[in-house]
Amino acid sequence: MTNDLRFKPITINDKPIFDEFFVNNDSISCVNDFSTVFCWNVSGEARYTIVDDDVLLIYNIYDGKKVYYFPISKSRKDIRAYIELIWNLEDCNCHFIAQAEEKAIDQIKDIAGYQLIKDRDFSDYIYLTKDLIELKGKKYHAKRNHLNKFINSYKYTFREYTENDYQQCMDLFDIWITNSNTSPSYEKVAIDLALKNYKALGLKCGVIEIDGKIRAFSINSILPNKKAGNVLFEKADINYNGIFAAINNFSVKEFFQDVEYVNRQEDMGIEGLRKAKLSYHPAFILTKYKLICQKEEKINAKKPLEQLTILR
């Protein structure tokens, strides 16, 4: 057994390789989608390898730590050995494993060397598509009012994004940052990657124009397994009343008619974002967990490695 996993940089040309794993995975997590993995590679340091021609290992770098995505198996085999492989390879203080779902707990609970922690801030908000399209019932009364106010107040056009819209969308992001009193972040880099590669990624993007200028945009995908739509980014100029309700509703109607669920991703622990996502009444929250390395066990133990073969 060699510890040299030969991790490769993730490039746009790797989409078919990732899709081969994601299409056979029944998860509706936002990370079961190459678009999420690629667009959030804002540092350019994300890497992947394939073990036993069956298990995909991916990591990215955040705040100086390697963050491994929970391993994905094409044949849905027990991935415990692959977590142990990561444990043996990495410095305990410099990595953790994220994006584990509840259905994997039986495989990983009480695994030596790691502590399992619920990761509420990075759990996904899952909505029924029909709820976001129809906005029926008392619970959506406010959303219907916002949407109708927008429709009745402005002469607008909703249409699909084109390459000619790139600069206006990036300028709109800057306006959104200013109006929302939000600090600039890696998100602008991620949006740049998405818009410049939207065709190769197969993204479904929409814009709202008012007076000939783009005032809102959304960037979306359909998960490879066709089980959910995935909302990667959604931005709007809040000076237009109801515009967020409009871009949300118009995009779901245009792009997600053929899927049961819409994944609007996580809230990252941001209070305002959590409130906004809860206001759309998710069907459920897809709870995520992370595995944090336990230094004491790492020092005092060394696990035997399975006979794993690195094929790519």
> Pick the residue with more confidence: 181 or 186?
186
CA 146 to CA 263: how far, in whole Å? 22
**pLDDT per residue over 237-255, tens digit each?**
999 999 999 999 999 999 9
Contact between 172 and 237 under an 8 Å Cβ cutoff? The reply is: yes
**pLDDT per residue over 218-241, tens digit each?**
999 999 999 999 999 999 999 999
Specify the long-range contacts of residues 160-166, CB closer than 8 Å, at least 24 apart.
160/204, 160/205, 160/206, 160/207, 160/254, 161/195, 161/198, 161/205, 161/206, 161/207, 161/217, 161/219, 165/207, 165/214, 165/217, 166/195, 166/196
At 284, which helix (H) or strand (E)? Answer: strand 284-286
CA 214 to CA 276: how far, in whole Å? 22
CB atoms within 10 A of CB 287: 15
Contact between 254 and 267 under an 8 Å Cβ cutoff? The reply is: no
| In the predicted structure, residue 302 carries a pLDDT above the cut 90 | no
Contact between 186 and 42 under an 8 Å Cβ cutoff? The reply is: yes
| In the predicted structure, residue 310 carries a pLDDT above the cut 60 | no
298 pLDDT tier (thresholds 50, 70, 90): low
CA 168 to CA 159: how far, in whole Å? 14
Q: Interior CA angle at 267 toward 157 and 208, to 5°?
A: 5
CA 3 to chain centre: 29
**pLDDT per residue over 147-175, tens digit each?**
999 999 999 999 999 999 999 999 999 99
Q: In the Cβ-directed half-sphere of 288, how many Cα atoms lie within 13 Å?
A: 25
CA 55 to CA 33: how far, in whole Å? 16
**pLDDT per residue over 4-59, tens digit each?**
689 999 999 999 999 999 999 999 999 999 999 999 999 899 999 999 999 999 99
Sign of the torsion formed by the C-alpha atoms of 34, 40, 44 and 46: negative
At 37, which helix (H) or strand (E)? Answer: helix 34-39
CA 120 to CA 123: how far, in whole Å? 5
